[in-house]
């Protein structure tokens, strides 16, 4: 008994670790939802929660969509006189699935339109965004982007300045964004001058907030300095933004900007995905039932 319980707990722990390590929320990015949310046809479902009941349960529409009583009587072996009532009941039950399915899709489309970052709406991938913005993005804008992506990095990295719940971080950590930020920001940092132009103290490998205890540049500390707003590091912030805006690093900063926006609002992304999935499942139920009934009668 103890062996079986130990095996069960061990298996459960392994499955939990696999689930967390796969980071399911990280795969539900705004760009992934965009493939559905940008559909012109799907965007029309926004009106369903408001006027759907007037359309789907209108007497004339129900009469128009009612299944053939003769076909229903043949399928279900009904006695004479009952086929009309049964056909109408089946039609209404299927209209319920259609109504609630379209309603879920409508709410999902509305939340997507209101919550998805505009840049992700306009560009399907970071590659498209970089290609479109590379030639028109100024150094000043890159400096602002560096601050924005540093805020996102700090939130996902955790620590005392992060307001994101630990469960969300573990399930939704965007590895591509975090890895690219760590590498890119350290490369930009390595090209900074030894002394900044506003009277700040020069960098020292032994006693400086941008270095860890072993004297190596630390991306977490650099990100915190970029978002701290402390006057003593303003020269550092300007110098880093200037280097980041050069041709060598501009593409990386733009790609990081897109990835940061693509992974914002993780709980809302999950909720929108749930609404879309529920809507498609409800809409598919009448189709599956009809397919099964037709197939069964053909086989018999």
Note the pLDDT tens digit of each residue in 130-183: 999 988 888 889 999 999 999 999 999 887 667 778 888 888 889 999 999 999
**Residues 186 and 294 occupy one common structural domain:** no
Are residues 128 and 213 both part of a single domain?
yes
Is residue 16 domain-resident? no
Average model confidence (pLDDT) across the chain? 80
Residue 14 inside a domain? The answer is: no
Q: pLDDT band for position 86 (50/70/90)?
A: low
Share of the chain above pLDDT 70, in %: 70
Q: What is the mean pLDDT of residues 102-120?
A: 93
Percentages (nearest 5) of helix, strand, coil residues in the chain: 75, 0, 25
Q: What's the chain's Rg over C-alpha atoms?
A: 28
Over 80: is that where the pLDDT of 296 sits?
no
Confidence check: pLDDT of 230 > 50? yes
CB 217 within 8 A of CB 209: no
Q: Are residues 195 and 278 in the same domain?
A: no
| Together in a domain, 64 and 193 | no
Q: Supply the range of the domain harboring residue 137.
A: 123-263
Q: Are residues 250 and 232 in the same domain?
A: yes
One domain for residues 244 and 146: yes
Q: Is the pLDDT of residue 70 over 90?
A: no
Cβ within 8 Å of residue 243, ≥6 positions away: 188, 191, 192, 249
Calculate helix-pair angle for 83-115, 266-299, nearest 10 degrees: 150
Alpha-carbon torsion, ordered 171, 176, 182, 184, to 10 deg: -160
Residues 205 and 294 in one domain: no
CA atoms of 250 and 258, how far apart (whole Å): 13
- Do residue 161 and residue 74 come from a single domain? no
Q: Are residues 185 and 64 in the same domain?
A: no
- The mean pLDDT value for 266-291 works out to 91
CA distances from 6 to 2, 17, 19, 58 (A): 6, 16, 20, 59
Question: Do 257 and 132 sit in the same domain of this protein?
Answer: yes
**Predicted pLDDT of residue 176:** 93
Contact (Cβ atoms closer than 8 angstroms) between residue 123 and residue 132: yes
Quick one: 92 and 140 in the same domain?
A: no
Same-domain pairing of 192 and 219? yes
For residue 251, being part of any structural domain is answered with yes
């Amino acid at each position: 008994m103890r062996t079986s319980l130990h095996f069960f707990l061990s298996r459960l722990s392994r499955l939990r670790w696999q689930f967390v390590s796969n980071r399911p929320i990280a795969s539900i990015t705004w760009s992934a939802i965009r493939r559905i949310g940008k559909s012109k046809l799907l965007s029309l479902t926004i009106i369903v929660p408001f006027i759907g009941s007037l359309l789907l349960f209108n007497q004339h529409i129900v009469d128009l969509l009612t299944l053939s009583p003769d076909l229903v009587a043949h399928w279900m072996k009904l006695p004479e006189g009952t086929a009309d009532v049964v056909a109408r009941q089946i039609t209404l039950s299927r209209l319920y699935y259609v109504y609630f399915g379209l309603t879920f899709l409508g709410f999902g489309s509305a939340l997507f339109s209101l919550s998805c970052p505009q840049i992700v709406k306009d560009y399907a991938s970071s590659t498209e965004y970089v290609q479109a913005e590379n030639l028109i993005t100024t150094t000043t804008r890159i400096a602002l982007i560096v601050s924005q992506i540093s805020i996102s990095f700090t939130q996902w990295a955790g620590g005392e300045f992060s307001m994101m719940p630990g469960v969300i971080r573990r399930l939704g950590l965007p590895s591509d964004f975090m890895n690219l930020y760590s590498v890119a920001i350290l490369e930009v940092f390595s090209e900074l001058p030894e002394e900044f132009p506003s009277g700040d103290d020069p960098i020292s490998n032994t006693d400086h907030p941008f270095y860890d205890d072993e004297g190596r540049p630390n991306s977490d500390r650099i990100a915190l300095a970029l978002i701290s707003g402390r006057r003593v590091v303003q020269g550092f912030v300007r110098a880093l933004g200037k280097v980041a805006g050069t041709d060598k690093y501009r593409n990386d900063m733009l790609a990081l900007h897109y990835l940061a926006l693509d992974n914002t609002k993780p709980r809302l992304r999950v909720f929108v995905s749930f609404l879309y999935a529920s809507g498609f499942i409800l809409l598919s139920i009448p189709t599956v039932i009809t397919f099964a009934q037709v197939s069964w009668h053909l086989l018999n």
